[in-house]
Structure 1
């Protein structure tokens, strides 16, 4: 009994130490979580889930601030002007942080130099699906249809300069068939048109495809994740169908300002890991259809550099020119 009491006391002491260190990192004011997209969207939802679990796990207060607009630029500008004191955190998809400066001339920042990543909060892959126009059930069937109907072969995405566009272009090069990009303003209409036969192919996120799986209106040909989606277990990965170059996983990350003191960075990273590893947080991400990363890379900046290089190659392959 004394031994058990000692273990419980030690555990409580450890938790108290983490909470105390976190309080030191954030100061007396609530931590600001800056989100560059509207309330109710995927980034906002994940930020709020993280804030709630931080309250439960660490007893700390975080306030989500939606700075929506300009493809995330308003939030990034707010982060760039914030002090490097660990009290302001940017929550954003890694693809926006890594890809943004390549596709928008207004994105004047360097993710590696200007921000310090403190953790991955959730991750997801992309998917390629065929609709009524081709009736393809697998990528080989679509390739055959595209060769027979080159003037009709195209792919829909949520918009210009998105990861989906560059993955679609890479798919075109890999298959060696015609694939004209049809950008939409958002994802809903692109799904509707592919199911209706107006566009034969869709490149989108896995989460968008899950509700349509097995219904016959939209056939997911493959996903770009490293492993199969538990909600679509019969859908192969890009690697499994012989296209490892299309393997790509985006993740929602938490970033502080570069120059944040090392001790505060260490505290943040330890606490992010604690929140993300909690069962409450995992359950919430599962409801939203996202995977929770298994631990954090030893060097997140190195991971971001590798991913940025991969996106740069895709952008170059597409011939895309940055816009305002």
Structure 2
């Protein structure tokens, strides 16, 4: 049995020193802005996954440093409204953004109106949490494994389809890659958000669902959906019986996304360094680690190191997945 992901809940060494440094840095930043407020922009509605992670981070930043942190939702256009707001804000390190890295990378690829460069125009401060994607079958599909679904899809091409939260999303391109790899004509059924996609798969209107791993957990436990694949390198601890893409013979589908803390380019280097120290302190705190684990996410092994290289690498991967899918950018 492959090892499941585990979240180390032990108190990291040097935590007290990190928090003390973060407290001093927070005081300096707060003095630099009238009212002392630090703004974290989220490009998605309140209650969604990016919002939840942003609010957990903000709360533990307050606890660790005493900083006045305000989370603002700028929902719309797959995160573009928040992206534009951060780019328009002063580069003083007081307005940042919490965003899935895939959304930051894919938006300028799929929307012609998003005329920014994800690596050139932003500085990645920290990865806050990581997650993979998963595929599950609903009552309209037959079988309980990916092999079963593949065989069924080939013999029922008129019924073989999959639901995602929308066009141009990671789930869309992973589904297109899956269809290419198994040689089955899977029809993409995009929705405006994941909630409606889940509803129609549960109701039998669509055969399969591709979403984030943690959203599959309750439906798998209740027997309402049959999870057949996760894209993380390791099995999900809350879905221990579900194989990874690599275990299923599909390493091309391996994918890990992450919620990142981003500042606009031009933010002074000393401010970025301060933010990274503060983020390290929050991510080392037992309360934050437990909250993230309880939400079903993994903690990044290196939250602040090598993020620019990681973004460059992942941009190439998503760009290639988009290319082979045949999807073209829209207005």
Q: TM-score, normalised by structure 2?
A: 0.90
**Hey, what does 1:21 align to over in structure 2?**
25
Deviations 1:95-133 (A, max 9, x none): 110110011112111010110000011111111111222
> For 2:222 and 2:74, how far apart are their aligned partners in 1?
37
RMSD, matched Cα? 1.8
Compared CA separation, residues 141 and 306, structure 1 to 2 (3 A): same
Deviation at 1:135, TM superposition (A): 2.2
**Hey, what does 1:262 align to over in structure 2?**
269
Compared CA separation, residues 242 and 297, structure 1 to 2 (3 A): farther
Tell me which structure has the larger Cα radius of gyration.
1
5+ residue gaps, structure 2, are: 1-13
Give the conservation status (yes or no) of the 8 Å contact 1:156–1:199: yes
Between 57-66 and 311-320, the greater mean CA deviation after superposition: 57-66
Give the conservation status (yes or no) of the 8 Å contact 2:45–2:51: yes
Give the conservation status (yes or no) of the 8 Å contact 1:155–1:179: yes
Deviation at 1:209, TM superposition (A): 0.8
Give the conservation status (yes or no) of the 8 Å contact 1:21–1:267: yes
> For 1:67 and 1:293, how far apart are their aligned partners in 2?
26
Compared CA separation, residues 209 and 301, structure 1 to 2 (3 A): same
Q: 2:177 aligns with which of 170, 176, 197?
A: 170
How many residue pairs get aligned? The number is 315
Deviation at 1:295, TM superposition (A): 2.8
Deviation at 1:11, TM superposition (A): 8.3
> For 1:124 and 1:13, how far apart are their aligned partners in 2?
29
Q: 1:248 aligns with which of 238, 241, 255?
A: 255
SS of equivalent residue, structure 2 residue 120:
helix
Give the conservation status (yes or no) of the 8 Å contact 1:273–1:295: no
**Hey, what does 1:224 align to over in structure 2?**
231
SS of equivalent residue, structure 1 residue 112:
coil
- Give matches, 1:133-282, under 5 Å: 133-282=140-289
Q: TM-score, normalised by structure 1?
A: 0.92
Deviation at 1:176, TM superposition (A): 0.8
**Hey, what does 2:57 align to over in structure 1?**
50
